[in-house]
Structure 1
Amino acid sequence: MTYAIQWIRSLAFIVLMYLLMVPWAIVFMIPAIFSRSAAIRCCRSYSQCIMWLAYPMIGLRCEVRGTPPKDACLIAAKHQSFLDVLMIYSAIPAGRFIMKDILKYAPIVGQFGLRVGCIPVKRGARGAAIKQMLADVEAGRLFPGQLIIYPQGTRIAPGVSAPYKIGTGVLYREMDQTCVPVAANVGVFWPKRGIYRAPGTAVVEFLPPIAPGLSVEDFMAHLETAIETRSNALMVEAGFTAIEDSK
């Protein structure tokens, strides 16, 4: 298959992915106003649909490994593209993300994100961001489920090093809940930017949970080692070799 044909297929897939948000939003709009569960069903079913379409349209299989948590917990995940958002959310019963504040203004995504309990956080001074996250998480405990955070704060391309931000450790300490790390290789196939989507098998893997009670420093070291080691192994499995030292 030539690059040009795959690029065209990728473009068609991306266009359809965004177009499908409209009928999903129309069908679930009224139920979601009255029921958070309806909003969750909307987002999960949409995520599952996009994952299913990825194989016939662009030759990309989506595989979830490990044991997705069912109880309330903190999930700390590798973030490489929009695909890992869909794959993680589809695998758990009641996920809510800590997301960039600007996303709450995005049509459909923002409204349904807020309805399922996502917590918008403004970028800026680290101390202020952590304080805001803790306040919003405390207020959001009315919504039980799995709180998902990306410890590196943004999408990170395969092979690129980026620090893990201390806010994840502070949340782990203050929430006093189990943390489930998640590794991924999805950026090998679905890049941070651009149209082209490569065929293959995109994987997100739920790793062994980290029990509450560690110091923030020990937790952060454990978390980074677990996620980066396994993500690197998954990327090698996918054929990616230019992996930098994550330290």
Structure 2
Amino acid sequence: MLFVRSFLFNVAFYANLVLWLIILIPAFLVPRRVFIALVKVWARSSLWLLRVIAGTRVEIRGVGRIPAGGALVAAKHQSFWETFALVTIFDDPTFILKRELMWIPFFGWYLRKARCVPVNRRAGSQALVQMTARAREEAQHGRQIIIFPEGTRRPPGAPAAYKYGVAHLYQNLGFPCIPVALNSGLYWPRRQFIRRPGTIRVEILDPIAPGLKREEFFQSMQDAIEESSGRLLAEGRHELGLGGIPPEPVTSTPNI
């Protein structure tokens, strides 16, 4: 039954994605805020399919901690799930992502319309300068800049591997940082077909005010995300009856 429900969900999810890629074509002509609102409708429809077909619900904790206006959002990254689900939580979100994604037909065009912040990983230190300038511009317009500090999806329970790009952004943006913990990798595992029934839990943690020293911020952010994600992971493992099953092997991916 798990295989059947996972198969049906994946078919429905990607069919829905293709449908929305078509529906959004005329949205190139509307203001960006209207475009973001339409993207949120797609994201919510995907979450609805996940709940109805795969039996995977979502619980968001700490929404009241989100400050108004611009912010840096540092989120745990375990699954493809958070790349669309986090859009539904924040008012006017945008993502920091690798530049190559902007070159994908249709999908990349929509990323440009949403004014996502591309990173040219081959540009070395100059990439940080360009990324920061774009991110600051968006944050000054009241947007929430979502970054995955570990740079790539990592399996639940894998050792933390945070990159210093998030600390560079924090120091140079002058906006609060909102840490986000989650356990999505238990239910939507990376590079796997299976979608497990249960409850994906996301916790919005206390914002970190601007002004901390680089190392102080970096350690504080990492400790907050890891402590909360570990607790959510324990809750999910208990729910799924996974006990002490060790995490899947992980390989390191260099990133800013």
TM-score calculated relative to the size of structure 2: 0.87
Deviation at 1:121, TM superposition (A): 1.0
- Alpha-carbon distance in structure 2 between the residues aligned to 1:170 and 1:99: 16
1:137 maps to which of 130, 135, 144: 135
Between the two proteins, the alignment pairs up a number of residues equal to: 240
2:35 maps to which of 39, 50, 53: 39
Gaps of 5+ in 2: 249-256
The answer (yes or no) to whether the contact 1:21–1:108 under 8 Å persists in 2 is: no
- Alpha-carbon distance in structure 2 between the residues aligned to 1:116 and 1:142: 15
- Alpha-carbon distance in structure 2 between the residues aligned to 1:148 and 1:99: 9
Q: Deviations over 1:24-70 (max 9, x none)?
A: 23333223333101210121111111111112211110111112444
Q: 1:1-247 to 2 correspondence within 5 Å?
A: 5-67=1-63, 68-124=66-122, 127-140=125-138, 143-239=141-237, 241=244, 242=246
Q: Deviations over 1:154-211 (max 9, x none)?
A: 1111121242111101101100101100000000111111101111100111101000
- Alpha-carbon distance in structure 2 between the residues aligned to 1:126 and 1:80: 26
- Alpha-carbon distance in structure 2 between the residues aligned to 1:203 and 1:126: 35
Identity of aligned residues (%): 36
Q: Deviations over 1:202-245 (max 9, x none)?
A: 0111101000010011000000000001001000000164479x
Q: Deviations over 1:102-132 (max 9, x none)?
A: 2112343322222112111133465243223
The answer (yes or no) to whether the contact 1:62–1:87 under 8 Å persists in 2 is: no
Gaps of 5+ in 1: none
RMSD: 2.0
The answer (yes or no) to whether the contact 2:2–2:194 under 8 Å persists in 1 is: yes
Name the amino acid aligned to 2:179.
Answer: P
- Alpha-carbon distance in structure 1 between the residues aligned to 2:104 and 2:27: 20
- Alpha-carbon distance in structure 2 between the residues aligned to 1:24 and 1:172: 34
- Alpha-carbon distance in structure 2 between the residues aligned to 1:117 and 1:62: 27
Name the amino acid aligned to 1:51.
Answer: L
- Alpha-carbon distance in structure 2 between the residues aligned to 1:91 and 1:190: 19
Deviation at 1:15, TM superposition (A): 2.1
- Alpha-carbon distance in structure 2 between the residues aligned to 1:142 and 1:148: 14
- Alpha-carbon distance in structure 1 between the residues aligned to 2:3 and 2:168: 42
Deviation at 1:13, TM superposition (A): 1.1
Q: Deviations over 1:117-150 (max 9, x none)?
A: 2111133465243223113324545753100011
Name the amino acid aligned to 1:168.
Answer: V
The answer (yes or no) to whether the contact 2:54–2:197 under 8 Å persists in 1 is: yes
Q: CA 1:231 to 1:141, structure 2 compared with 1: closer, same or farther past 3 Å?
A: closer
The answer (yes or no) to whether the contact 2:138–2:145 under 8 Å persists in 1 is: no
Q: CA 1:70 to 1:26, structure 2 compared with 1: closer, same or farther past 3 Å?
A: farther
- Bigger drift between 171-180 and 79-88 goes to 79-88
The answer (yes or no) to whether the contact 2:182–2:202 under 8 Å persists in 1 is: yes
